Structure 1
Amino acid sequence: MARAGQRRTGRARPDPGAQRRRAPRPSEKGIIPVLAGIARELDGAVRRPPTRPAVRTQFQVAALLVREERARVMADASLTAGKRDQELKRLDGVATLLAKIAVRDTTLLTLLAEDARVSDAARDYKATVMRAGGLEPPEETAPPAPAAPTPSASSPSSAQPTSPAAIPAEKRVVPRSVISRQLANPFLAPDFEAAAERTAARARRLAGWELLEPLFRSFEQAGPGAPACMPLPEARSLSASFGRELMPHQAQVVAATARGHRTFLLADEPGLGKTAQALLAAQAADAFPLLVVVPNVVKTNWAHEVGMWTPLRRATVVHGDGDKVDAFADVVIVNYELLDRHVGWLGDLGFRGMVVDEAHFIKNKGSQRSQHVLALSERIRTRTARPLLMALTGTPLINDIEDFRAIWQFLGWIDDTKPLGRLMTALEDTGLTPADRGFYAAARAAVIDMGIVRRRKADVVADIPARRVADLPVELDGAAGRSIRAAETALARRLADRYRSAEAARAGADAADTVGGEVDLDLARRVAAAELKDSSSKTGGENVFTMVRRIGQAKAGPAADYAAQLARNVGKVVFFAKHVDVMDEAEQTFAQRGIRYASIRGDQTPKVREKNIDAFVNDPDVSIVVCSLTAAGVGLNLQVASNLVLAELSWTDAEQTQAIDRVHRIGQDEPVTAWRIIAAQTIDATIAELIDSKSGLAARALDGASDDDGASSKDVQLDALVALLTDALAAERLG
C-alpha cells in the first residue's frame, strides 16, 4: 500500500527530470512523451515573461528534435502505415503546442532559422533529452579544440574559435611567396604592450553578473529611436592621396582613427564609401600589413580601391592555392571561401590590422568561416597591441539581436562569456548592475562608444551627389573567364594582322621597317571599321559583339550576387540586364536565396507588366525587380528604390542614363547609386571608359547638336576595337 501511495503521490507532483517508477505504457515510451513534457513545461514558463535564456534553449532543442523525429518516422521503412500515422499525429500534437508557445513570444521563432546559432549548452541539453527518450546522441563532428590550460576565473572561456592547427593538414596551403617572406623575417618581435592590454581590465564589482545577455537586450530596450553612432570628431581636412577628396562623413572616421580609436563596427548604408574609410583609417593607424576578408564578388574591387585611395600601398588578392600571392604586399585580400586553405599562414604573417567586409556573413558562430575569422582576429590581438579591427556591414542585424555576438567577438569587445577590456571597464565605471533601471541605457552607450558607426543616406544627403555611377570590377574566374580572355587575345591578334597587312600594302616591301614605329591611328581606325563591318554582317568567328555577349553571361552570377547583398542591406533594388539569359540566371539566383523578385521583359503583355511593377512598388516582400535594359529603360517609375545594378553595359551613355532615370526621378527623396558591374582586365573595362568619355553627347543633343544615338554607339564600338588594336601593337613592340 505504501508503494501504491508513493506512485499516486508521484503522479500528483510529476518531476520532468526524474525517471518514473511505474512501468510506462507503450504510448509513453520513446522521445515523443519526453518532448511533450518539455512543451507543457515551456507553456507554463512563457506565460510568465520575460522568457529566460534557459527557456529559449529548451524551446530550440524541443523544436529541433520534433523536426528530426518527424524526418526519422517518415524514413522508417519498418513502420506500418497505421503506426506511422499514429506517430506523426503525436508529433503534430507537440508541434502544435510549440507553435502556440511561439505565438506568445515571437522571438522564439528566430531560434529555428537555418542559420540560427546552437550553443554548447543547447547541444548538451539535446543529448540529455535524447538519452531520456531512449535515443543515442550523435557523436560530435567538430574537430577537437587544441589542448589548453584549465581556465581560471580570470582567463578566457575554454570555448575558443577553431585554431589553424585544427584545420585538416591536407586542406592547408602555404604559398611560395609566404615562405620567402618568413625567411626574410623569421621572427616577429614580441609586443609587451599587447600582453598588458589583455590584462589591464579586471572584473570586480560585476564579476558575478551575467552581462552578455543584458548587453544584447540593451539594444532592444534602451534605443532612443536614432541610429547607433559613436561621437565622431570633425575632420580638419577632406584631402586624401593624390588629389582625391573624402566626403565629410568619411573623413570623420579617419579623424577618429588618427586620434587613437582602433575598433569599428562601420554600419553605414551601402553607397556611403565604407571601403575608402577603412583603407584611410588603416593609413591613419599605420595598420599595415592589413588583412581584408571579403565576399568573392568584391575581391577585385577592393584591390582597385587600394590603388585609388592608398596608391603607395601594394595590394595582393588570394586566388585558389595562392600561387600568385605577393606576401610582401601591404594589403592582403582574401574571400571567405578560401579561409580554410589559408588560415594557417595568414595567422602568422604579422598583420597589424584586419577588415571584415559584409561582416554579417560571420553572424553564425558555428560556421567554419566565422570560426576562421575569429581565430585570425584573436591571433592578431595576441601579437599586436591595439590593432585596427573593422567590421563593415550595412546590416549588422539580420534575424536577432544576437547577430551582434560574432561581430563583437571579432572586434575583441567580448568573448564567449563576458565583456572584455575597455568595455568591461566602461560597464564597471557606470556604477550600475543589470538589476538597476538605468543599466540598459548605460550599457548601450558603452557599447556604441566602443566604435559603432551608423549613418544613413538621409543623414548625410548633403555630402553625396544626387546621382552617381559606382563601378564594381569583378574577376571572371574559371573556364568562362579563360575562354573570354583567349577570345579577346585572338581578336586582338586578328586586328594586328590586318593592320600589318594594310601597312605593308600601303608602304610596299619596306613596310617591315616601320612596324616598330608609332601606330598610325588613322589606319588603325580603318582596320577597326573593317572588322566592325564584318562583325555586323554576322560572319563566322569571334567578334566584338559575341565577346561582349559572353562577358555579360559571365558577369550574371557576380552581378546577381551583389544585387542580393544590396537587397539584404537596403531593401528595394533594380537589376538591369540586356539579354534574356542574364536575366534568367539572375532570377534563378534570387529564387535559390529565397529573395522575392518581379520581372519586366519585352515579351510581357501590358497587364502582366503592370502587375509586376505594382508588386515591386507596393509589396514590401518583393525586394528586387529584374528589368530588361531595352524594355524597361523608359516609361517606368521605380523611385521606391535608390540602388540599381547594371549587370551589362549598353553601347551608349544615353541608354545607361535612361535606366538610371527610372529610379532618379520626381518623388525620389534619397541619393541614387547605380552599381555598374565591370569585368576587370577585359574589353568591358574599355567600353565603360568610352561610354563615360562620350557622356557629353546627350547634353550636346539637348542643346541642338545633331549627334544621334546610333552614331554614338558605333563610335564606342569602333573606339573599343581601336583600343584593343593599339594595345596589341604596343605589346608587340615591347615584347
Structure 2
Amino acid sequence: MARRGQSPTGTRRGAPRNQRRVRDGDVVSALARTVREVEAAVQKGRVTPGVRAKFEVVALLVREEHTRVRSDDTLSEARRGEQLKRLDGIGTILAKTAVRDPALLALLSEDAVVSAAARSLKRELLADIGVEVPAEEAPAPQPVAAAVAPERQVVPQSVISRQMANPFLAPDFSAARQDTPRPRRLAGWELLGPLLSSFERAGGGAPACMALPAPSDRFTPMGRDLMPHQGQVVAAAAAGHRTFLLADEPGLGKTAQSLLAAEAAGAYPLLVVVPNVVKTNWAREAGQWTPHRRATVIQGDGHTLDGFADIVVVNYEVLDRHVGWLGDFGFRGMVVDEAHFIKNRTSQRSQHVLELSERIRSRGAKPLLMALTGTPLINDIDDFRAIWQFLGWIDDSKPLGELIDALEETGLTPADAGFYPAARQSVIDLGIVRRRKVDVAADIPARRIADLPVELDGPAGRSIRAAERDLARRMVERYETALANRPADERVEGIDADLVRRVARVELKDSTSTKAGENVFSMMRRIGEAKAGLAADYAAQLARSAGKVVFFAKHIDVMDTAEATFTKQGVRFASIRGDQTPGARQRNIDAFVNDPEVAVAVCSLTSAGVGLNLQVASDLVLAELSWTDAEQTQAIDRSHRIGQTEPVTAWRIIAAQTMDARIAELIDSKAGLAARALDGSDEELSPSADVQLEALVALLTDALTARPGTPVAL
C-alpha cells in the first residue's frame, strides 16, 4: 500500500504540480505508470498487500475506462482507437503479471470484490490527476460463501492462458432476470414448509413427473441411438425448459440426457460436478454423445486441465480448490450428478455447489441447471431443500422466480385444502422428471452391460502401469532375441505377427508355471484390488438410489475391501462365499432377499455365479472381469431369471488405461456382443485361454509399435 500522504504513483498529495505529474484527466497515463510498478514488484516476488491493491485499482479503472471511451461521443474515431489500444496494452501487462502470481488472476474478474484498500487508492489516484471524485458509497455486501483456506485455492495454468487470450471478456448480464416489484397475494405467508409438506401429503396416484414433449433425436450424433424416454428430456430442453431434477432410476441414461440437453440448450461452457468414481465415465460419455465438444477432467490441482474445453468435469472432493476460478469461468450450464450429495446445506461441498449455481444464474436469464439423482430423498422431505436451491427454485427462506409466480397463479393460500396438490404440481412442473425401469421397460433391453471406466490414481495406479510396462518389456526382449536368431532371409518387414503370437504363447505358458515375475494373472489380480474400493463406492451409491445390489468379485481380498467400504459407509450387506457352510450361505442369501435393510450381496464370482436366485435386485456390479463372457453371463443370470419384473443392468467397473480395458474389449468381441446387449446372442463363446493370449498379443504389439522407427506391416 502507498505510504500515507502518497499516491499509488509515488507523488505526494498536495505537492506542487511539476513535469512528473500527469496532466489533468489523463487516467491512462497514470494507469500505465502504476501497472509498470506492479509488474516490477511481482517480477521481484514482492507481492505485498499494497501491490495487490494497486493491481486491483488498475484492473478496475481499465474496465471503467474501456466503457467510458467507447461511449464518449466527443472523441474522434482516431482518438478513441488510440486510447483503446493503450488500454489493451495495460490489460496485456496485467494478464502477464497475473501469470507470475495466479492469486492476482481473480482480481481481473468483472465481479471481483474490491477491497477497502483498493477503493482508497483509487480515490487517491483520481484526485492526483485532477479527476473529480464522487462521494464514496458504502461497499456492496459480500456474498456469503463457504470458508476455504486461501492456500487451498488454485488456478490451473491453462485457465490463466484462456484468461490471457481475452482478459477483459465481460460476462453478458443483459438478459439477466429483472424481477419487477409487484404486490404479492402470498406476501407474509410462510411457504417453504407447506411446499415440502405437499410432497409428504401426496397420495399414491399423484403425478411424480412433469409433462414431457414427444422425443427428439435431432441432437443425437451419428452412430448413437437415444431411447424414447431420453429423447423427451432433450426435447424439453430444446423447447426452452432449463431446470431439471432428473430423478430417473439408475440405468436409464441420465448422463446422455444431460449432455444432449446441454447441446439442445447451447449451455456451453458446461460445468459437471460428480463423485470421483464416475468422473472418467463422464468424459467418456461426452466423447460419445457430444464428440464435437472438448471435454476435460480436473485432476488434483488441475495441471492437466484443458482450459479451452466446452465441458469441465470436477469431482466433489477437489471442488474446494477450484471454486474460485470456476465461479469466474462464464459457465452457461451446470450439472450436479448424485445430487443427494449436497443435501446437507451446511457442508462445504454443498455450499460450494450452491455458490457456483448462484453465480451462474446471475450471469444470464436461463442457464441450464440439472440435478441428477436416483434418490432425491435420503432421510426426509427436507433433503429437497438444497437441490431446489441449486436449481434456483427457492432460497433459504422463500420460493423464487417462476415458482412464486406459479403459486400466485393458483389463487390459493396454505389455509386452503387445495393448496397442497396445486403447490406440489407447481414444483413438479418446474422440472422434476422421475421414471422407473419398470415404466420404460419397453425402451431398454431386458439385460445389458454398462461399462464404467475409473482412473487408478496414486501409488497403486502408478505401480500397476509400471508393472504393465515391465511385462511388455520382457516380451519385447524375447521377441527381439528370437528375431535376432533368425536367418536374414526369413525376416519380414515391420512387425512379425506370427512371432508376436508365439512369444505371447510362451509368456502365457510361463504365467501358469511357478516362475517369478509379473504375469497376466497377477496383473489382473492387482488391478482388481486397486479398483475394489471404487467399485464398492459405486455399489453403495446404487444401493441408495435403486435398492438392492449384487456385488460380484473373483478374489477374496477384493471382497474384503468391498465389505470394509460398506461397513464404513453404513451399508448393510450379506456375504456369499465359497468357503461357507451350506447353512451359513443360505442364511446370508435369505437375509439379502428378505431383509429390506440388507442392501448389498457381496458374492464370489466363481462360487456364487451359479445356483442362486437373486432376482430381488435389478442392478449388479462386476468389480472384476471374468476371462469369458459365459462366466459373466452366469453372474448376471442370478438376477435376470423368472420372477424378475425389471430390466437388469450389470455395471462393469473397468480400470481405464490398463490391461483391464483391453480385456473387456476382447471378451465382448469374442462373444460377438452387439452394443453390449446380451439377448439373442447364440455365437459360440471362446475359451478363456484365447482372451488371455489375445491380451498378451495386443500388449506386445502396442509395445513394438510404440518403438521409434518401427514400421508396421500391412
Regarding TM over 0.5, the answer is: yes
Q: Measured at CA, do residues 396 and 227 of structure 1 come closer, stay the same or move farther in structure 2, by a change above 3 Å?
A: farther
Secondary structure of 2:507's match?
helix
Q: Give the Å deviation of 1:509.
A: 9.6
Q: Is the 8 A contact 2:392 2:400 kept in 1?
A: yes
2:538 matches 1:562: yes
2:649 matches 1:673: yes
2:492 matches 1:519: no
Q: 2:179 aligns with which of 199, 202, 217?
A: 199
| Residue 175 (structure 1) aligns with | 156
Mapped to 2, the partners of 1:414 and 1:663 lie a distance apart of 41
Q: Is the 8 A contact 1:194 1:382 kept in 2?
A: no
Q: Measured at CA, do residues 704 and 280 of structure 1 come closer, stay the same or move farther in structure 2, by a change above 3 Å?
A: closer
Q: 2:292 aligns with which of 287, 294, 312?
A: 312
| Residue 162 (structure 1) aligns with | 145
Mapped to 1, the partners of 2:174 and 2:681 lie a distance apart of 66
Q: 1:373 aligns with which of 353, 363, 377?
A: 353
Q: Give the Å deviation of 1:159.
A: 11
Secondary structure of 2:300's match?
coil
Mapped to 1, the partners of 2:681 and 2:245 lie a distance apart of 48
* Structure 1 or 2: more helix by fraction: 1
2:700 matches 1:725: yes
Mapped to 2, the partners of 1:405 and 1:734 lie a distance apart of 61
Give the CA RMSD over aligned residues: 2.4
Mapped to 2, the partners of 1:416 and 1:202 lie a distance apart of 21
Q: 2:618 aligns with which of 598, 621, 642?
A: 642
Give the AA of the match of 2:236: A
Q: Deviations over 1:33-69 (max 9, x none)?
A: xxxxxxxxxxxxxxxxxxxxxxxxxxxxxxxxxxxxx
Q: Give the Å deviation of 1:227.
A: 5.2
Over the matched positions of the two proteins, sequence identity in percent amounts to 73
Q: Deviations over 1:118-156 (max 9, x none)?
A: xxxxxxxxxxxxxxxxxxxxxxxxxxxx999xxxxxxxx
What runs of 5+ residues in structure 1 fail to find an aligned partner?
1-145, 149-156
Q: Is the 8 A contact 2:549 2:620 kept in 1?
A: yes
Secondary structure of 1:264's match?
strand
Q: 2:587 aligns with which of 611, 625, 648?
A: 611
Q: How is 1:133-172 mapped onto 2 (pairs within 5 angstroms)? A: 161-162=144-145, 166-172=147-153
Q: TM-score normalised to the size of structure 2?
A: 0.77
Q: Measured at CA, do residues 418 and 492 of structure 1 come closer, stay the same or move farther in structure 2, by a change above 3 Å?
A: same
Q: Is the 8 A contact 1:227 1:455 kept in 2?
A: no
Secondary structure of 2:651's match?
strand
Q: Is the 8 A contact 2:171 2:330 kept in 1?
A: no
Q: Give the Å deviation of 1:431.
A: 1.2
Q: Deviations over 1:144-175 (max 9, x none)?
A: xx999xxxxxxxx9996516xx4221110011
Secondary structure of 2:485's match?
helix
Q: Is the 8 A contact 1:227 1:454 kept in 2?
A: no
Q: Measured at CA, do residues 500 and 201 of structure 1 come closer, stay the same or move farther in structure 2, by a change above 3 Å?
A: farther
Give the AA of the match of 1:633: G
Mapped to 1, the partners of 2:709 and 2:264 lie a distance apart of 39
Mapped to 2, the partners of 1:629 and 1:451 lie a distance apart of 41
Mapped to 1, the partners of 2:414 and 2:489 lie a distance apart of 92
| Residue 323 (structure 1) aligns with | 303
Q: 2:227 aligns with which of 247, 250, 265?
A: 247
2:215 matches 1:235: yes
Give the AA of the match of 2:365: A
Q: Give the Å deviation of 1:500.
A: 1.9
Q: Is the 8 A contact 2:173 2:362 kept in 1?
A: no
Q: 2:665 aligns with which of 679, 689, 692?
A: 689
Secondary structure of 2:197's match?
helix
Q: 1:574 aligns with which of 550, 559, 569?
A: 550
Q: Give the Å deviation of 1:202.
A: 5.0
| Residue 186 (structure 1) aligns with | 167
How many residue pairs get matched?
Answer: 571
Q: Measured at CA, do residues 696 and 241 of structure 1 come closer, stay the same or move farther in structure 2, by a change above 3 Å?
A: closer
Q: Deviations over 1:357-410 (max 9, x none)?
A: 000000000000000000001111111221000000000001111101000010
Q: How is 1:124-523 mapped onto 2 (pairs within 5 angstroms)? A: 161-162=144-145, 166-195=147-176, 197-200=177-180, 204-226=184-206, 228-237=208-217, 240-508=220-488, 517-523=493-499
Mapped to 2, the partners of 1:622 and 1:159 lie a distance apart of 47
Divergent runs of 4+, >6 A: 702-705
| Residue 547 (structure 1) aligns with | 523
| Residue 140 (structure 1) aligns with | none
Give the AA of the match of 1:622: V
Q: Measured at CA, do residues 200 and 576 of structure 1 come closer, stay the same or move farther in structure 2, by a change above 3 Å?
A: farther
2:577 matches 1:601: yes
Q: Give the Å deviation of 1:193.
A: 3.8
Mapped to 1, the partners of 2:356 and 2:653 lie a distance apart of 31
Q: Give the Å deviation of 1:204.
A: 1.4
Q: Is the 8 A contact 1:640 1:668 kept in 2?
A: yes
Q: Measured at CA, do residues 227 and 535 of structure 1 come closer, stay the same or move farther in structure 2, by a change above 3 Å?
A: farther
Q: Give the Å deviation of 1:491.
A: 1.1
Mapped to 2, the partners of 1:227 and 1:713 lie a distance apart of 50
Q: Deviations over 1:69-118 (max 9, x none)?
A: xxxxxxxxxxxxxxxxxxxxxxxxxxxxxxxxxxxxxxxxxxxxxxxxxx
Q: TM-score normalised to the size of structure 1?
A: 0.75
